[in-house]
Structure 1
Amino acid sequence: MGWLYCWSLLQTRDRAMMHANLMNNYFNPNLMYTKEDFRRCFRMMHHVFECLLCDVQQVNLYFRQKRDIEGCPGFSPHQNVIVALRMMAYASPADSMNETHGMSESTCLDTLEQLCDTIVQVYKDEYLREPNQEDLNQLIRKTKDRGFPGMIGSLDCMHWDWKNYPIGWQ
């Protein structure tokens, strides 16, 4: 057995183990963490993740599990999307994903780029557009109901006076 073959088996085992851990922790019926844990960890609700995963798999072949040159399974769609979301949610560097998800820096960066491009492609018409008058009216109603009238046009809210404004920010 050559060293390359042994290295390939090790990587495959790690990928499979990481996938099994991910599924046991967040996706299988007897999951270790709750849906609230998922939302806190990945900055999105579980059902939104499932919709995103389904949509990106349909549009981009990158997010379907493939086999590597040795014929072993590559990263699962769940692993690919989770890694990209973690990097975005926490501004994590790509090289930090190797320890927790077993994915190299270059693969993480490719995955992040693929996910971002796919999200734009899939959701641009519905979510990535300029707001129309109906959208603005809805935002104005919501902000007024929450005690921030006139917030549109001043999204940074710099014109609001804070009673207990942190001294270090003055």
Structure 2
Amino acid sequence: MGGHIRLWNDYFSENPTYNQSMFCRRFRMNKPLFLRIVSSIENGVPYFTQRPDATGRLGLSALQKCTAAIRMLAYGCAADALDEYLLSQKTYSGRLQQLLNIGEHRGFPGMVGSIDCMHWEWKNCPTAWKGQYARGSGKPTIVLEAVASQDLWI
């Protein structure tokens, strides 16, 4: 929620931090057009409506999602380059602490998630593929990965 409020105060409030000229430079369009796009998408595309996540907390607002999408298109950048309005440090820290507490309660102190890999001998590997899947032993193996995270424990 902090990211939405910060975004609103910076660009859309009565006295925004950044003026109309700065808005046009950052989003490559004027504010009324941007807000019309947000409204249309929010009402027509289910992904852009704000919904609670698995823990019951509200996810990103339509304004945040549209801001990210439009800035990605305008600048050709990755989503994680836009974190200033998508993530609130307080929210992230709180969620991380919650995951650490759950891990500790289940006997895994300090674990947020875990990934483990192992090579498994592939006895029926096609002859033509054996060279691609062989390691130092000369026997073909495939890599099995196991992931454990909070999402899988609920």
With normalisation by structure 1, the TM-score equals 0.48
**Match 2:50 to one of 32, 42, 65:** 65
- Report the CA distance shift for 1:18/1:61 in structure 2 as closer, same or farther (over 3 A): same
With over 3 angstroms needed to count, the CA separation of the structure-2 counterparts of 1:88 and 1:24, relative to structure 1, is: same
1:46 aligns with 2:31: yes
- The aligned residue for residue 150 of structure 1 is none
Q: Of Structure 1 and Structure 2, which has the larger fraction of its residues in helix?
A: 1
1:65-88, Cα deviation, whole Å (9 max, x unpaired):
111111111000000000011111
1:100 deviation in Å?
5.4
Displacement of 1:37 in angstroms is 1.1
Write the distance in 1 (CA, Å) between the matches of 2:9 and 2:84: 18
Give the corresponding residue for 1:17: 2
Paired letter, 1:65: Q
What's the C-alpha RMSD, in Å, of the aligned pairs? 1.7
TM alignment of 1:1-170, pairs within 5 A: 16-98=1-83, 101-102=86-87
CA–CA distance in structure 2, aligned partners of residues 100 and 54 of structure 1: 18
Mapped partners of 2:29, 2:59: distance in 1: 25
Larger Rg: 2
Give the % identical residues.
Answer: 33
Q: With the length of structure 2 as denominator, give the TM-score of the two structures.
A: 0.53
| Matched pairs, number | 88
Give the gaps of 5 or more residues in structure 2: 89-154
